[in-house]
Amino acid sequence: MKYSSFQTPERRLLGAGPTNLYPEVSEALIRPEVGHLDPKFVEMMDEVKSMLRYLFQTKNEFTIAISAPGSAGMEASFVNLVEPGDKVIVCVNGLFGGRMVENVERIGGEAIIVDDEWGTPVSLDKLEESLKKNPDTKVVAFVHAETSTGVRSDAKEIAEISKKYGCLVIADTVTSFTGIPILTDEWGLDAVYSGSQKCLSCVPGLSPLTFSDKAIEKIKNRNSKIQSWFLDQTLVLDYWSGQGKRSYHHTAPINSIFALHEALRLACDETLEKLWNRHLNAHFRLKEGLDEMSFNFVVDKEYRLPQMNSIYIPDGYDDLEIRSMLLNDFNLEIGAGLGKFSGKIWRIGLMGYNARSESVDYCLDSLKNVLNK
């Protein structure tokens, strides 16, 4: 059987990720291949680290991009910082908090759940109450921007409460990174991970990650062997180390890192303040149009993510039918609900390249056309 080259349709990706790529990022993907230990590639890796430090707002020496998606960033944080028997408080207010629990349990840690309704932020009172009941807790973990619901939790306050009880803090910033403020050092976050395919508008498959000095100290003084070989960051340290020399750990996804370097460069050139404002302005434009169509948001105004807009599906409309019409007739993808929100909400992502007026207007016009039909 003879196969033809796969031809991709041109979609507008306004779901929960991936996003459409910046043109410069697409161009970076087809640059000539070099070896993953080539001096020029090593030089570029140092620039990736430097740009990630700015975007994470940290001075952490250990700031890298894992050669795997954001879910691997999550697992890397847990397998390195949690040992069997450790108590870990996990704040769960959506699907991805639930995945954190799964990580803790697979390691053999004891997951203590602070549970909040989907669509609401992590309760600071519940967190402190749980810490008082469990003073021997080692780690507190939470999702800063819950992709499944579009809600933002107060990372600064969560970290502040956790530090009072001597805990390390793990933060999932997969959907928040460069879309809303993340002040790693100022807030006292110890392990922060993200993904390349959201507000960076880069290709999927890479996970920016930063560990504080306290996190590195914990890793170096573990009593047990790290569960995962590939995600053991003591082995990766020498691969991403400075002074231009690298030890072999794995063959990096070279072209994807070309793309990441370009996405980071674009973000740094734009500056964080302008990035945050651009995402916010796109949200306000979308909200104005959705209000005119009488849509209701899932999340209260104070806690909404500008880059991930969750709205209730109006009565009388079929979720799959509407999304299929948007995809087939307008080449527009929006996100479906997950878990307990399956079939009940739509998630409209305005991330990175798509956080602009043209994408917002196209989404609103397409939605109006389909609903009118």
* 7 located within any domain: no
| Domain identity same for 197 and 303 | no
Cβ neighbours, 10 Å, residue 125: 9
Q: Assess contact for 142 and 97: CB atoms under 8 A.
A: yes
| Domain identity same for 292 and 341 | yes
* 3 located within any domain: no
Q: pTM of the entire structure?
A: 0.96
| Domain identity same for 96 and 242 | yes
- Kindly report the CATH number assigned to the domain that includes residue 331: 3.90.1150.10
Domain finish residue from 240, 268, 296: 268
| Domain identity same for 342 and 194 | no
| Domain identity same for 96 and 53 | yes
| Domain identity same for 223 and 341 | no
Domain count for the chain, please give it.
2
* 150 located within any domain: yes
Domain finish residue from 218, 242, 268: 268
pLDDT the model gives residue 60:
97
Amino acid at 1: M
| Domain identity same for 217 and 152 | yes
Q: Tens of pLDDT along the chain (373 residues)?
A: 999 999 989 999 999 999 999 999 999 999 999 988 888 888 899 999 999 999 999 999 999 999 999 999 999 999 999 999 999 999 999 999 999 999 999 999 999 999 999 999 999 999 999 999 999 999 999 999 999 999 999 999 999 999 999 999 999 999 999 999 999 999 999 999 999 999 999 999 999 999 999 999 999 999 999 999 989 888 887 777 655 566 778 888 899 999 999 999 999 999 999 999 999 999 999 999 999 999 999 999 999 999 999 999 999 999 999 999 999 999 999 999 999 999 999 999 999 999 999 999 999 999 999 999 8
| Domain identity same for 58 and 72 | yes
- Kindly report the CATH number assigned to the domain that includes residue 40: 3.40.640.10
Burial of 168 (0-12, 13-18, 19+ CB in 10 A): buried
| Domain identity same for 216 and 343 | no
| Domain identity same for 188 and 52 | yes
* 204 located within any domain: yes
* 365 located within any domain: yes
| Domain identity same for 251 and 326 | no
Range of the domain at 368: 12-17+271-372
| Domain identity same for 275 and 264 | no
Rg (the chain; Cα; Å): 21
* 240 located within any domain: yes
Domain finish residue from 226, 244, 268: 268
Sequence-distant (6+) residues with CB within 8 A of 85 are 108, 109, 110
* 94 located within any domain: yes
